[in-house]
Amino acid sequence: MPRWGLLVEQNLGLGGQRRVWSAGVMDHVDGTREEALEALRRRAEEYKPLHPASPKRRRLYRERDGFVLVLDGAWQSFHCRFTVMEELYDSAAPTPEPEPRTAPEPEPVRPPPPVRRRPVQPRPEPEPERAWDADVPEVPSWLNRDRPPS
């Protein structure tokens, strides 16, 4: 669906030399061009420009892409141009949220393969405790008794 910008162009500033023709976006409309033009017309009818401060007369004209509002002031006339334009690009637009993806159908659950277990072997019986002097010779070699007594 296209997005339409509702633009207003008007004179800003005071005096002949200091006036600036300025444009601004009033709003956006998502929809058809006709819907955007209708929204722009309502805005143009209610619009209160900076100049003149106390208009004596207001006239609204329709043109192909919008409207022109002519205001007669105490000393001179001012005008505002209202235009509807299709927005093609906006560098500051928020990124659209990604569309939710449909979850793929889950694959059928397969039972896990059987676990092959080794047969449980009984633990070997513990060895009996050794005596505290099991590794001590009966005749120490330092007594020169490494040979049996005669």
Task: Express each pLDDT in 80-130 by its tens digit.
Answer: 999 999 999 888 877 777 777 777 787 888 888 888 877 878 888 888 777
Q: Which residues pair with 85 in a beta bridge?
A: 5
DSSP-derived secondary structure for 23-47? EEEEEEEES-HHHHHHHHHHHHHH-
Return the amino acid letter for 114: P
Q: How far, in Å, are 7, 31, 118 from residue 66 at the CA level? A: 9, 16, 87
3 state DSSP class of 96: coil
Return the amino acid letter for 55: P
26 or 149, which is more confident? 26
pLDDT at 136 over 70: no
- Please state the pTM of the whole predicted model: 0.57
Answer yes or no: are the C-beta atoms of 57 and 71 closer than 8 Å.
Answer: yes
